[in-house]
Structure 1
Amino acid sequence: MWLPMLIKRLNHTDMQKQGLKLTAEEIYSVNNSSLKDAIVQFGGFCTGEFISPEGLLLTNHHCGYGAIQANSTPQNDYLTNGFWATSKDQELPNEGLFVDILVRMDDVTGKVLEGITASTSETERAKLVAERMAAISKEAGNNGQYVSYVRDFYNGNEFYLFIYERFTDVRLVGTPPSSVGKYGGDTDNWMWPRHTGDFSMFRVYMAADGKPAAYSKSNVPYKPKHHLPINIADKTPGDFSMVFGFPGRTKRFMTSHGLKLEVNQLNKSRIKLRERKLALWKEDMDKADATRIQYASKYASTANYYKYSIGQNEGITRMHTIEGKLVDEDKFQAWANDAQRKATYGNVLNEIAAAYNTIEKYNLHNIYLNETVLGTESLMMAYRFSALNNALKSGDAAAAQRAAQDLQGRLDGFFKDYNAATDKKVFAAMMKFYSEDIAKDQQPAAFKAMVAKYKGDFNKLADHVYSNSFVVNKQKTEAFLKNPTQKKLEADPAFAIVNSILENYLTTIKPKLDEANAKLATANRLYVAGVRLMNPDKVFYPDANSTLRLSYGSVKDYSPQDGVVYNYYTTMDGLMAKEDPNNEEFEVPAKLKELYNKKDYGRYANSKGEMVVNFITDNDITGGNSGSPVINGRGELTGLAFDGNWEAMTGDLVYDADYKRCINMDSRYLLFIIEKYAGANNLISEMTIVDKPSPGPADAASASVSKGNTPQAELLDAVMTEAKQNLNNGKDEFKIEKKKGDVKVKLQIKD
């Protein structure tokens, strides 16, 4: 996950060997149009890319899911039926949705760490670093013109500034039905083979003067500095591919102590709690379409990392990841014990172990606060009243009015997608888990008293809360906000539970975790610095932190287990083989079946006449990369990244070169759905579509040998051209022989 601004120095030569045809400046440039100008951070949680000069934006269906769901009603169910704007005036606005477009990134390590030495205390260091990061960010923001921030890299050893333009007028243009965009549902999530059309389309708008602006009918489509052409040629194993996007968070420098905590505490808890919540939601979603629509986005989001946690634990066990870390740590300790290094690095691993011992004792409370308390809708809404409560307590009438207005603005969105009866069941289950699993001396007295009052019957506790709390009813909440009082708010049972747990966490749990995490951060910084010093010839990439990164690799199949080999692409034949009309996850729309039966694929079929749906590469991705473009060596979009594979769920913690695969929707299936299924030719006409095979390492080798006019070079060019054509035509075996004078070149390919 390389920083684009460093590609020229660190990676460009290697990328050229693998098939890259672009210069480093064509990938990242501040002064000229480059690939980076086509990439956006979508909504702060996904990636998107411009695919037309009219601001047409492509991202995943699951990234656009919230916007699709927000625009859906039982009468206009875009989740089920899809949506296509046939003209720009039909495109749908989305309040709160934004995209960030990178202006530039700068290395500010020197500015942040100026004057800080080994003798600087950790307290003073943290203070100086925080102040300087804030000052640099503020100055770069240019009085609100840009969104800017400084992020630390390599666990606080380096610092980079990122400057973005934020556009807030982002309109829904098109989405296939969920039966296409979410085909396979939770069953296929994280799995290969895959047959999912995971895409949605938006358009970014700007003011007439080219600047970002709030939604207005007078706004005009954004004119990107660069948009990606779309390649519809066949792909072959070895074809160069890169993924450009915003990976969320990796922790690959984490030690064995941290891995044990992830496996035994975080993942196990997440699996247990989310499994129960998902079951309760699904029970009510299956009973009513209105509830299904209300909870569709929440269910998908919750299920995603539920399944991820299961796969990650299995992968860490299979790969013996913890054992491998222990070996690395033994090597580090031996290096650190050198007399010249011992004072700085000798005790680092012991300090890491001690910090994790404290964290483990209190971290379960931290997990449960997020999963059970704030993971229950009514309690999350009650938590949002904390600012109002603080204002009422302080007597600040102006602050109270602002807080009340803010809450009033949230009500429509919250209650539109809220079912009190469903949430009540979740509340009872989550509070039971909290009461039983959190150490009693870490629970607030008020909560324990409430549990005791109902003799541990959490259904009765739920009856009390949902009968007496105003936060579970829109009209009651509105009535309270018209005349809010501290007394009434603190008497509300939902708020009382949240407030007691939160105050207890902030006063007794968080300080202990903060102290331990501060010690851990210091030790981790020294550990990573030491690891890099210990391996001076190795080029390290930093952990992901939601900043723009580039991963490069190739189209590639894999073997998940003995005796099994997964092909690098799937087709509509496999999609139809999975069809199950009685299972909503595997329903196939009638129009799609009709196109399949007629083999009406148009120009989007491959050379064998197949409609390719998905393909895999060995690119390095994680959450946040969803919606990232898969780009060939000429800078053309060949697919859309949307998932990782089950066998490599360890990816956030350790990269598995043998198993790691990036699952992508093929560019041809994208265009087939838009043109043949949806008939949205207005969108097709905006795009730049090319049909030329993607460059692979063979092309790069040919190019390097072909310099000059030697007979060998001429013959090799001719052989490579013919071989590529044979491969694209699906031939498994062929021979080619070329002669010129005394020179002969022969090539034989066998399946």
Structure 2
Amino acid sequence: MTQRFVKYSLILLFLLQQQFSYATEGMWLPQLLSKLNEKEMKAMGMKISAADIYSINKGSLKDAIVSFGGFCTAEVISSQGLLLTNHHCGYGAIQSHSSITNNYLENGFWARNQAEELPNEDLTATFIVRIEDVTKQALLNVTANMSERERQSAIDKQLNEIKKNVKKEAWEDVMIRPFFEGNQYYLFVTETYKDVRLVGTPPSSIGKFGSDTDNWVWPRHTGDFSMFRIYAGKDNRPAPYSKDNVPLKPKHFLPISLKGLKANDFTMVFGFPGRTTEYLPSEAVKLTVDVLDSAKVAMRDAALKVMDGYMRKDEQIKIQYASKYASTANYWKKWMGEMQGVKQTGGIEKKIAGEAKFRELVNANASWKQTYGQVLDSLNEQYRIITPYAQARDYYSELVRNVELFAINDKLISFLNEVHEKGTAQYDQLRTRFLEDMKSFYQNYNAEVDHDVSVQLLDIYFQGVHSRYIGGEAYQIWMETNKDGRATADRLYQESSLVSLEKLEALLANPYTTVVAQMWKDPATRLGMALRKGFSENVSKTLNETQANINHLQRIYMQAQMDVLGSTKRFYPDANSTLRITYGKVDGYKPRDAVNYDYYTYLDGVMEKYKPGDYEFDVPAKLIELHQKKDYGRYGVNGKMPVCFIASNHTTGGNSGSPALDAYGNLVGLNFDRTWEGTMSDINYDAAICRNIMVDIRYVLFIVDKFAGATHLVNEMKLVK
């Protein structure tokens, strides 16, 4: 054999080994399973066919999966349109029905019959009717010499024509989404139901057990579920809310297995994952992990420590800041896990090694070399160029997000701009509406907390971002207070008219022209506008131009990867909130030296974490009683109550509420989270440590039946063994 043939064979062997090691990776389009995945899925243990998962000629699994509100996934689990999703997905609806007298968040809620089920304005459930490849039509008028703007304009015109001519029913909708960085396009015919009613929810002490402390963490003991029902017109079609509507008769609903799972059992997750970026070059991963994640974590870490200190000392502040703290902590924790996971698994090094093999294959083929020879290096170079601008953007975004005084400033500027556009004659009317809106803001605002947050974040921002990206005016203000966060914050909060509703009302009692003039003198407004101006002038323009270059090159690089590596690797498109299926196996994992996690948790673990009166780890008295008596009914196993389990399914945000399915397509669990070390799966899936977390369906049924006494709901379902 020639040396060149040996080298080429080794490259192919490397790629085949890479494909084998990542067998559970991927978020696959369901209509392509028979072509790309069915053989492997069956080899891993699947007992049904690809047609049982996706079919347009008969009821299939896809007909039981809905996009819940456009932000989560839910599944139909009865012939009467009963929906199952996460507690955190239904949280907004549950909260909207809660009051001091009926606190459903704290106490739970269970409709005793369909008449008691609660309607939810603007909550929707969207089914996928069918999916079609429209790539050829979408790219019909695209030529190689077009600019990105010209290319997109040509595509948009074609997409409009495709939508006009698609065959669909009057009540159905159409959407078209780009895939593989705009190299392919798929059309989705959808059916959206707008009457979705709350059926039941456990108390937050079950549905949110562990709260922020356990978020992104395994072992997990959270009963993260809630139930809704889809209602339709009497013709079973989508209809606005009406008391005359009837429960949906679905094309398919999921049978529920009580068998449970064991190690290496095949599992699938079917849902609407939000966003991933799996095909980035190495410099993009470096930028994310080494620069952007660390900047955002530093800002949020400082803000969280201040909030936590006040919340522990003051019950009123705890109430005001509980939601803000949870929102801030969610991605702070995710980004830390992402950094740790990529570094632990050598994610960047693997990217670099893969790129070296890609270059070798490209250079060995004259056609590929001519077409793709420079694309990877050019793309990596653009990421190096964008690094300081992207870092400045994230520091700025975190500053104005977490210092609420700057948010007030932005709201005030927007109000004054509206007055300017509509005319000063409407000032009084618009002022009244604006102040009314601000009352709810200030109810959950504490200037002392915000002052101390700003002390920390101003120091981090001005020390972490080079002055050339901040701008002269903002940096001048920083210098006026001796480049000191506390001195700057003291001036802002002592002198600004924005720190309380009373001061804001006093400011706006003046005529419009007076308010505008005083705005320039207010220290908070002065700094806020200077920061915004500096960002606009010194960061935004170059950032946007470079990002446009990256988008262009990323599209070409994506096509290059598919062309060059397509014979040895299957490609799945990045998540974009469209229907996908992922599959894997039940399995524990070893995140670090001397730590080995099992794949199941039990109610015993809930009681081990139990802290009476603690807002994260308190437990309802009835749950304690059921545990003590081991009164688990048909849902327990050998005197134990399963709660959660993990598997190697590739999931992300938007998969919350997705069904976990066994080899026969039966419902065995409900996806709600990922393990901390595996949150890197959005950019770097690694089967060794990437795990999704699911609540066992038997725990769901145990809570519904034995804890809540809502046995009539279980009786609706089809339980199988």
TM exceeding 0.5: yes
SS of 2:716's partner is coil
Match of 1:84 in 2: 110
Q: For the Cα contact (< 8 Å) 2:168–2:189, is it kept in 1?
A: no
**Is 1:524 matched with 2:559?**
no
Please, which of 657, 668, 673 is the counterpart of residue 638 of structure 1? 668
Q: Give unmatched runs, 5+ long, in structure 2.
A: 1-26
SS of 1:625's partner is coil
1:652-685 residue CA offsets vs partner (Å, 9 max, x unmatched): 1122122222211000000111111122224323
Match of 1:651 in 2: 681
How many angstroms does 1:631 deviate by?
A: 1.1
Aligned ranges for residues 566-581 of structure 1 at < 5 Å?
Answer: 566-581=597-612
Moved more, 444-453 or 157-166: 444-453
**Is 1:33 matched with 2:64?**
no
**Percentage of identical aligned residues:** 44
Match of 2:570 in 1: 539
**Is 1:447 matched with 2:474?**
yes
- Distance between the aligned counterparts of 1:332 and 1:595, measured in 2? 58
Aligned ranges for residues 462-477 of structure 1 at < 5 Å?
Answer: 462=489
How many angstroms does 1:389 deviate by?
A: 4.6
**Is 1:242 matched with 2:273?**
no
1:387-406 residue CA offsets vs partner (Å, 9 max, x unmatched): 55544444579999999899
- Distance between the aligned counterparts of 2:164 and 2:395, measured in 1? 35
Please, which of 48, 57, 68 is the counterpart of residue 83 of structure 2? 57
> TM-score if structure 2 supplies the norm length?
0.85
Structure 2 CA distance for partners of 1:509 and 1:191, relative to 1, 3 Å = same
- Distance between the aligned counterparts of 1:401 and 1:131, measured in 2? 45
Aligned ranges for residues 325-474 of structure 1 at < 5 Å?
Answer: 325-337=351-363, 338-380=365-407, 382-384=409-411, 388-394=415-421, 414=441, 417-452=444-479, 454-456=481-483, 458=485, 462=489
Q: For the Cα contact (< 8 Å) 1:140–1:146, is it kept in 2?
A: no
Match of 2:700 in 1: 670
1:1-48 residue CA offsets vs partner (Å, 9 max, x unmatched): 101121222222332333334343332234543222222223333222
Moved more, 539-548 or 439-448: 439-448
| Matched AA of 1:357 | R
Aligned ranges for residues 102-181 of structure 1 at < 5 Å?
Answer: 102-133=128-159, 136=162, 148-181=174-207
1:568-619 residue CA offsets vs partner (Å, 9 max, x unmatched): 212122222233337543322221111011000011112x232111112221
| Matched AA of 1:586 | F
- Distance between the aligned counterparts of 2:319 and 2:247, measured in 1? 30
- Distance between the aligned counterparts of 1:41 and 1:482, measured in 2? 47
Structure 2 CA distance for partners of 1:413 and 1:215, relative to 1, 3 Å = farther
**Is 1:588 matched with 2:619?**
yes
- Distance between the aligned counterparts of 1:378 and 1:559, measured in 2? 44
| Matched AA of 2:605 | G
Moved more, 592-601 or 641-650: 641-650
SS of 1:586's partner is coil
**Is 1:628 matched with 2:658?**
yes
Aligned ranges for residues 669-748 of structure 1 at < 5 Å?
Answer: 669-690=699-720, 692=721
The number of equivalent residue pairs is 690
Aligned ranges for residues 469-488 of structure 1 at < 5 Å?
Answer: 485=512, 488=515
1:520-547 residue CA offsets vs partner (Å, 9 max, x unmatched): 1222222221222222232211111221
Moved more, 191-200 or 370-379: 370-379
SS of 1:340's partner is helix
- Distance between the aligned counterparts of 1:284 and 1:495, measured in 2? 26
**Is 1:510 matched with 2:540?**
yes
- Distance between the aligned counterparts of 2:400 and 2:663, measured in 1? 48
- Distance between the aligned counterparts of 2:555 and 2:442, measured in 1? 45
- Distance between the aligned counterparts of 1:237 and 1:496, measured in 2? 60
1:295-316 residue CA offsets vs partner (Å, 9 max, x unmatched): 3333223222211111111111
| Matched AA of 1:533 | D
SS of 1:657's partner is coil
- Distance between the aligned counterparts of 1:149 and 1:399, measured in 2? 40
How many angstroms does 1:647 deviate by?
A: 3.2
Structure 2 CA distance for partners of 1:507 and 1:643, relative to 1, 3 Å = same
**Is 1:312 matched with 2:338?**
yes
- Distance between the aligned counterparts of 1:138 and 1:496, measured in 2? 50
- Distance between the aligned counterparts of 2:370 and 2:104, measured in 1? 63
| Matched AA of 1:521 | N
Q: Give unmatched runs, 5+ long, in structure 1.
A: 693-751
SS of 1:663's partner is strand
- Distance between the aligned counterparts of 2:38 and 2:517, measured in 1? 60
1:602-643 residue CA offsets vs partner (Å, 9 max, x unmatched): 11112x232111112221111221111101233221001112
Match of 1:556 in 2: 587
**Is 1:263 matched with 2:289?**
yes
1:479-506 residue CA offsets vs partner (Å, 9 max, x unmatched): 9999994763685455655444334433
Structure 2 CA distance for partners of 1:133 and 1:283, relative to 1, 3 Å = farther
- Distance between the aligned counterparts of 2:630 and 2:357, measured in 1? 59
